[in-house]
């Protein structure tokens, strides 16, 4: 048969992930000649041989690609023969824009772990062991192209042994940019609170293991930042961490050595186990077992643990001592971003940690642990960060480059380029100055790594959000303001490659409405090009605004007042509060903005039935309310619906009256919660059916942070399914405000198409 020569270009994540050596091996196996090289457009291959072998080669490029790569578009075509003698790896000669992608950080691989635990290996117990299949990436890259001088490893000169591995195409460490060993790479050190270095290397580890067993709080530098580590079975130690971190009750993540221990703490479904062991190593929210044996203080009043398995080699060493489960919480003061610099950690965490386990491999960008949960039959993101960012989401369509700067809380940013959406790691609450700096740095980093020059910046409609203000300060690029819940709707559509229009049931805490009230229990009809507010929860006064968010009892009093007027019944919870003050604020319309928030409705019901009166962390009242229900029953609280200003309003007041009557008749909390949840499921299904009848749309999108409530999500999903709706849920981004930046960017892109 005639020999042919093909030119093949491969896009996607194919740089720094062992792709070229893989190509080299494939070509050798098939007796092809030619070369492979990195170019600005990605990996380019010229291969010569039998057409059947070439086809087979092309097939294998995609099917057998190395674990960290993500093969995108492959373009292949015949060119003239050159009759080379062999197949070679060509060093990249072209320097310039590289459109190949930077991979997320990846947990240490099996091959490296085998070496790590092998006493005769030269990297035995060396905490910075890595190879082309594993290790840090996104957090150590300074700029492109992804080469060692462009990473935080630039100051470490490889020893001859490491260099040989790095240069050898058949070695697992060929062109592994962070490659190093105990002779040439970063090292650990233990620093006391007074700044003194007290131990180095192996000695630092054994000292930390000893201190952890003694209940000390150790700040540990990891991949995306510092953790605060403490023995999870030691209640006093965990309480001390909570006190010092000013984190009273919010659940703390727990790290255990492997699945065997994880199974002793939680009841795990197969999908949860797979997620725990996946390369991204997220925190997995899973149901506690009764006899878990950890301190109550780890996750008080919460029926789940946030579990994770080790992902940095160092973590394995920490868990080799007597401590079987470590609290591993972000190294920050509450609400600040995670610390990444040694000096910064020693300062900011000085009042929290008893000592600091540091190292000298720099972290360029902070990246928190990701959090996922099994909901509605799939593993879903709660916080998408380390291990996932900056892996792009594939979009259905293409268009101009656009930047979405996200909401204010749970901020992420998103840059669109071609068919790809680059969503940043979780950045957090922008009101915090440190977080605001990370926000700016992340935009710069993503724009330069992926060479994106946005022609439009999209921000939230709320003019006071720091992200909105930042957008308006970028004088050279036009801006667009987008309504919060519209962004939720479109983010979910985009993730599902659905053009819309759809009926959006968007339930969350807060989003600024164009009528200048606070929206949050919305039913929208729309798509990327626009929306209409079809209906939703009616708006009621929120006495004190943010003060009510912290104190659900205030909302409860206000909603009761709205439901009954002056004749509101006296419920037991009111005895402890100054209800007169709230009523008079509402009556005089003093600092009592109107809200249709769904989060506040949950708060009000929780407080009314004697649940959480003042919260210690976001959504605490709602979570506890959900937990008391233990499933949905047949009975529902009926909820009235009425038409007003061309909208179908769901009467919050009718629900509040049902709850109040139930409390008066002595119904138990669990039963009230069940009927309340079931009532919401029923009424949202009913209004969705009415929207379908009027608008002739059969697709429903569920988005907004309230859908982290698994009872509501799964109940509504089943109910909408039963009446024949196509229901779309988030797949790769969280349903909370972490998805807003994507929705904004997609809406922005649509607006440019209209011109
Ligand atoms: Zn490895
Ligand atoms: Zn070395
Ligand atoms: Fe939201």
Query: What's residue 336's pLDDT?
Result: 83
Q: Which CATH architecture has domain 535-728?
A: 2-Layer Sandwich (3.30)
**Per-residue pLDDT at 255 exceeds 80:** yes
Alpha-carbon distance of 341 to 338, in angstroms, equals 10
Question: Residue 515 burial (CB < 10 Å; 0-12/13-18/19+)?
Answer: exposed
Write down the residue that tokens 């878990």 correspond to: 292
Q: Which ligand is nearest to the CA of 17?
A: 1
User: CA 121 from chain center: how many Å?
Assistant: 36
Instruction: Tell me the CA–centroid distance for residue 262 and ligand 1, in Å.
Output: 23
* 701 three-class SS: strand
pLDDT at site 96: 40
- Distance from the alpha carbon of residue 112 to the mean position of ligand 1, in angstroms: 4
Q: Are 738 and 383 in contact (CB under 8 A)?
A: yes
Over range 286-312, report the average pLDDT.
97
Name the closest ligand to CA 485: 3
Domain ranges of the chain: 4-89, 188-359, 535-728
Q: Averaged over 653-662, what is the pLDDT? A: 98
Confidence band, pLDDT 50/70/90 cuts, at residue 386 = very high
- Classify each residue of 196-235 as buried b or exposed e, where b means 16 or more C-beta atoms within 10 Å of its C-beta: eeebebeebbebbbebbeebbbbbbbbbbbbbbbbbbbbe
CA–centroid distance, 736 to ligand 1, in Å, is: 34
**Region 265-274 average pLDDT:** 98
The CATH architecture that domain 4-89 belongs to is 2-Layer Sandwich (3.30)
**Average pLDDT, integer, range 22-45:** 87
Q: What pLDDT was estimated at residue 97?
A: 40
Most confident of 7-16, 84-93, 144-153, 470-479: 470-479
Nearest one of 215, 495, 384 to 736, comparing CA atoms = 384
199 pairs with which residues across the strands?
190
pLDDT tens for 87-128 read 988 765 544 444 457 889 999 999 999 999 999 999 999 999
Given this model, what pLDDT does residue 134 score? 93
| Residues of the chain above pLDDT 70, percent | 98
Q: How far is the CA of 119 from the centre of ligand 1 (A)?
A: 17
What is the per-residue pLDDT for 37?
85
Strand partners, 255: 308, 326
The residues that bridge with 546 in the sheet, in sequence order, are: none
> What is the distance in A from the centroid of ligand 2 to the CA of 101?
27
Angle among Cα 181, 187, 188 to the nearest 5 degrees reads 140
Assess whether pLDDT exceeds 50 at residue 567.
Answer: yes
Contact of 676 with 626, CB cutoff 8 Å: no
Among the bound ligands, name the one nearest to the CA of residue 518. Answer: 3
Q: 170-179, 295-304, 597-606: which has the minimum mean pLDDT?
A: 170-179
Tens digit of each residue's pLDDT (9 = 90 or more) over 195-236: 999 999 999 999 999 999 999 999 999 999 999 999 999 999
Percent of the chain at pLDDT exceeding 90:
88
**Closest listed residue to residue 3, CA positions, set 78, 88, 90:** 78
**Domain 188-359: CATH class, spelled out:** alpha beta
Contact partners, residue 582, CB within 8 Å, separation at least 6: 543, 554, 557, 558, 561
Tell me the average pLDDT across 395-406: 96
* pLDDT reported for residue 15: 74
CA of 130 from ligand 1 middle (Å) equals 5
- Exposure class string for 350-362: b at 16+ Cβ within 10 A, else e: eebbbbbbbbebb
pLDDT over 60 at 738, yes or no: yes
Q: Which ligand is nearest to the CA of 703?
A: 3
Least confident of 330-339, 540-549, 707-716: 330-339
Cα pseudo-dihedral 709, 713, 719, 724, rounded to 10: 170
Beta bridge partners of 306: 253, 285
Rounded distance from Cα 511 to ligand 3 centre (Å):
6
91 CA distance to ligand 2 middle (Å): 22
Q: Which ligand is nearest to the CA of 165?
A: 2
Q: Is 667 left (phi over 0), alpha (psi -120 to 50) or beta?
A: beta
The ligand whose atoms approach the alpha carbon of 488 most closely is: 3
Nearest ligand atom owner, CA of 410:
3
Q: How far is the CA of 509 from the centre of ligand 3 (A)?
A: 6
**Distance (Å, rounded) from C-alpha 515 to C-alpha 386?**
38
Tell me, in angstroms, the distance from the centre of ligand 2 to residue 268's CA: 40
Exposed, middle or buried: residue 170 (CB in 10 Å: 0-12, 13-18, 19+)? exposed
Q: Kindly give the distance from the C-alpha atom of residue 160 to the centroid of ligand 2, in angstroms, as a whole number.
A: 7
Quick: pLDDT tens for 463-515: 999 999 999 999 899 999 999 999 999 999 999 999 999 999 999 999 999 99
Q: Which ligand sits closest to the CA of 135?
A: 1
Q: Which of 314, 326, 282 is nearest to 128 (CA)?
A: 314
317-326 pLDDT, tens per residue? 999 999 999 9
Ligand nearest to the CA of 113: 1
Residue 98's pLDDT is 43
Ligand in closest contact with the CA of 511: 3
Whether pLDDT at 170 is above 90: no
């Amino acid at each position: 048969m005639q020999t042919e020569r093909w030119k093949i270009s491969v896009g996607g994540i194919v740089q720094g992930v062992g792709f070229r050596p893989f190509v080299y091996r494939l070509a050798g196996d098939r007796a092809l000649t030619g070369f492979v090289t990195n170019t600005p457009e990605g990996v380019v291959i010229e291969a010569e041989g039998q057409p059947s072998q070439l086809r087979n080669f092309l097939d294998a490029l995609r099917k057998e690609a190395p674990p960290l790569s993500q093969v995108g578009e492959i373009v292949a075509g015949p060119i003239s023969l050159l009759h080379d003698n062999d197949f070679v790896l060509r060093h990249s000669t072209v320097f310039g824009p590289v459109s190949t992608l930077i991979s997320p950080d990846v947990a240490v691989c099996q091959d490296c772990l085998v070496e790590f635990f092998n006493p005769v290996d030269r990297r035995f117990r060396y905490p910075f062991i890595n190879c082309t299949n594993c290790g840090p990436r996104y957090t150590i890259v300074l700029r492109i192209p992804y080469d060692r001088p462009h990473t935080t490893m630039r100051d470490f000169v490889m020893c001859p042994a490491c260099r040989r591995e790095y240069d050898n195409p058949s070695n697992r460490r060929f062109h592994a940019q962070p490659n190093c060993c105990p002779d040439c790479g970063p090292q650990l050190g233990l620093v006391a609170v007074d700044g003194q270095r007290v131990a180095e290397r192996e000695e630092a580890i054994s000292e930390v293991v000893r201190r952890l067993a003694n209940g000390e709080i150790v700040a540990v530098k990891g991949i995306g930042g510092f953790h605060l580590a403490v023995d999870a079975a030691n209640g006093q130690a965990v309480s001390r961490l909570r006190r010092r971190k000013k984190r009273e009750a919010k659940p703390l993540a727990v790290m255990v050595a492997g699945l065997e221990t994880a199974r002793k703490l939680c009841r795990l479904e197969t999908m949860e186990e797979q997620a725990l062991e996946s390369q991204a190593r997220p925190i997995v929210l899973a149901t506690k077992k009764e006899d878990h044996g950890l301190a109550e203080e780890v996750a008080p009043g919460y029926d789940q643990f946030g579990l994770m398995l080790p992902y940095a080699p160092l973590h394995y060493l920490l868990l080799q001592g007597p401590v079987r489960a470590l609290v591993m919480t972000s190294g920050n003061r509450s609400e600040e971003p995670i610390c990444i610099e040694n000096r910064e950690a020693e300062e900011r965490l000085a009042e929290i940690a008893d000592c600091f386990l540091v190292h000298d491999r720099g972290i360029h960008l902070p990246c928190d642990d990701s959090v996922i949960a099994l909901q509605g039959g799939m593993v879903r993101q709660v916080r998408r960060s380390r291990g996932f960012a900056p892996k792009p989401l594939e979009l259905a369509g293409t268009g101009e480059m656009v930047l979405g700067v996200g909401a204010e809380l749970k901020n992420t940013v998103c840059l669109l380029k071609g068919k790809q959406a680059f969503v940043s790691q979780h950045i957090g609450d922008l009101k915090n100055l440190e977080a605001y700096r990370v926000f700016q740095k992340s935009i710069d980093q993503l724009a330069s790594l992926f060479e994106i020059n946005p022609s439009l910046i999209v921000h939230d409609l709320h003019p006071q959000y720091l992200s909105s203000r930042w957008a308006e300060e970028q004088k050279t690029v036009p801006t667009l303001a987008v309504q919060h819940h519209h962004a939720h709707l479109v983010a979910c559509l985009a993730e599902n490659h659905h053009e819309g229009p759809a009926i959006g049931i968007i339930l969350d805490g807060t989003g600024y409405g164009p009528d200048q009230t606070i929206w949050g229990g919305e039913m929208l009809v729309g798509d990327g090009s626009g929306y209409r507010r079809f209906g939703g929860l009616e708006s009621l006064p929120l006495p004190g605004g943010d003060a009510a968010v912290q104190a659900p009892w205030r909302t409860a009093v206000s909603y009761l007042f709205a439901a009954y007027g002056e004749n509101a019944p006296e419920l037991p919870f009111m005895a402890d509060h100054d209800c007169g003050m709230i009523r008079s604020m509402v009556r005089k319309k003093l600092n009592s903005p109107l809200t249709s928030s769904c989060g506040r409705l949950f708060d009000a019901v929780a407080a009314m039935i004697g649940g959480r009166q003042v919260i210690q962390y976001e959504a605490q009242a709602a979570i506890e309310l959900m937990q008391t229900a233990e499933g949905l029953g047949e009975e529902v609280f009926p909820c009235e619906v009425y038409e007003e200003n061309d909208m179908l309003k769901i009467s919050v007041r009718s629900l509040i009256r049902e709850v109040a009557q139930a409390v008066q008749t002595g119904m138990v909390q669990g039963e009230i919660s069940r009927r309340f949840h079931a009532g919401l499921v029923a009424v949202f299904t009913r209004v969705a059916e009415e929207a379908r009848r009027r608008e002739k749309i059969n697709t429903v999108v569920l988005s907004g942070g309230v859908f982290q409530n698994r009872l509501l999500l799964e109940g509504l999903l089943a109910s909408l399914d039963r009446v024949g709706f196509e229901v779309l849920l988030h797949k790769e981004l969280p349903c909370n405000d972490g998805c807003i930046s994507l929705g904004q960017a997609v809406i922005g892109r649509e607006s440019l198409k209209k011109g």
